[in-house]
Structure 1
């Protein structure tokens, strides 16, 4: 009897140890689809996606519940093509904790306008890493691996590579798909090019940026603010180098979209020479938002 009780206890304990990697909140907006006929379908879809993302083991690693990666997925359905076919857009964001604080640092923030999918109410969501069976689950799984890879990159230098490679496999499987977003020739800012850039050695400085910025910079700000800012500045300098090699790159816009406002906040309280250096780097690396970075030069409000 004791033997069976022990087995039950260990099974329950193991289920807690095997907590999934993502703590994802899903929001689905279908206000552009007229009528209320589809309300239950979209509610069902939102719940199904929530369970698919949060209950799937995306890696072989063990996460405790408080280690799960915080992320958000915002889906806007803009067009209903048939009873089970839709088009819209999907925005994906993620963040990670900063050591010694309650602050969550943004890591990924991307809007994908090529969200074309089919969904049948109450039909289970199926995904296979080795084949393209559903555009809906392929897109969602792709971004789950991107989120995990980005998060790993902030804790270890290029540590996210295995997860970017899984995202790349999803892209490869989708090359015969009719839906847009997967192919190199469509445009230079889609799912194909995002993971291509992440795995391309020409952009290795950007991967280094994520590690130095977070692990050697943000994680030191609470205890050693000057040292933390210095490391962040060193990381930002890598963006300048990449911009000069690859001006206007897709990956640069991905990183500056996520980190731009935070960089402004961090260096608004820096020394005058720090402010000037970071401002000059950011207006060069992210020229489309040069005006925004002028806030760095303003005196902080105490």
Structure 2
């Protein structure tokens, strides 16, 4: 279990336990850029991975097996000049399901507009209250999004402290004027709108509650109490639909369905027909692009 590491505060002569909460794999695809210096991308990968995995982001103690797994998939689209990179980023976070070997995809988001400067052997530092550069801000932002989503899935709105830091990172980065950090109504798939929908706007609060219901009160119970689990998964879908009615096609809603559509269509196959019927009605409303997938539930 995750416990607050009080020893750090009580015994100053002892070294605090390095929590190292994240276990992320960084993958960099530079094929599109046709940039010849592949060594820089290998170094970049190791540097970014160390930034995410090699520091403590919380005061909680994590066992090695409790570290939050995820992928950061970076596609280098262009290198307009030496040291400047235009990229897209996909962030995926998974969570283990109690009593199984299954890992559930809890977050899946594509960040399509990231420009950054990187030089060989560049040190990466992070300060919650200051914008230092466009690399450490983006990596720290998604580290805290990953933590917040994970904690929300174990405790109702347990991710608040991490989303608060992510919001601070966005506010500080706005001074840079860089795409993704500023309010742009024509670019809803951005860091600004993501944290706005998750943490700032009350409209999407039901999706925060859905994360807990779906995972802790749903997926974690499927093996031991399927009747309760299916009811709670249905209620989670109902909450997402509720948010979508208030503000259709929000980025938080889209992100939830991007992570969950395949899983829902599989996990509900064994649910009672009345659960499936109501779930499909709601899913068609929220995620009509996957209508074929959901309608298959009624024939299973």
TM-score (norm: length of structure 1) = 0.91
C-alpha distance in structure 1 between counterparts of 2:216 and 2:32, whole Å: 42
Q: Report if aligned partners of 2:21, 2:58 keep a CA contact under 8 Å in 1.
A: yes
Q: Report if aligned partners of 1:18, 1:64 keep a CA contact under 8 Å in 2.
A: no
Q: What's the secondary structure of 1:211's corresponding residue? A: helix
C-alpha distance in structure 1 between counterparts of 2:228 and 2:129, whole Å: 45
Indicate the structure (1 or 2) with the bigger Cα radius of gyration. Answer: 1
C-alpha distance in structure 1 between counterparts of 2:109 and 2:222, whole Å: 26
Q: Report if aligned partners of 2:277, 2:298 keep a CA contact under 8 Å in 1.
A: yes
Q: Report if aligned partners of 1:158, 1:208 keep a CA contact under 8 Å in 2.
A: yes
Q: Quote the offset at 1:14 in angstroms.
A: 6.0
Q: Report if aligned partners of 1:284, 1:290 keep a CA contact under 8 Å in 2.
A: no
Q: What's the secondary structure of 1:176's corresponding residue? A: helix
Q: Quote the offset at 1:133 in angstroms.
A: 1.1
Q: Deviations over 1:270-296 (max 9, x none)?
A: 222221111111001222322332222
Aligned counterpart, 1:112:
111
C-alpha distance in structure 1 between counterparts of 2:35 and 2:238, whole Å: 52
Which segments of structure 1 move beyond 4 Å, counting only runs of 4 or more? none
**How many equivalent pairs are there?**
287
C-alpha distance in structure 2 between counterparts of 1:108 and 1:284, whole Å: 21
C-alpha distance in structure 2 between counterparts of 1:293 and 1:105, whole Å: 19
Aligned counterpart, 2:27:
27
Q: Quote the offset at 1:35 in angstroms.
A: 4.9
Q: Quote the offset at 1:33 in angstroms.
A: 2.3
Equivalence map 1:1-302=2 (5 Å): 17-36=17-36, 38-185=37-184, 187-199=187-199, 200-299=201-300
Deviates further, 193-202 or 183-192: 183-192
C-alpha distance in structure 2 between counterparts of 1:247 and 1:125, whole Å: 38
Q: Deviations over 1:140-186 (max 9, x none)?
A: 11000000000000011111011011000110011121320011125
Q: Report if aligned partners of 2:112, 2:189 keep a CA contact under 8 Å in 1.
A: no
Q: Report if aligned partners of 1:221, 1:228 keep a CA contact under 8 Å in 2.
A: yes
C-alpha distance in structure 1 between counterparts of 2:245 and 2:35, whole Å: 51
For structure 1, list consecutive stretches of 5 or more residues without a partner in the other structure: 1-9
Q: Report if aligned partners of 2:244, 2:253 keep a CA contact under 8 Å in 1.
A: yes
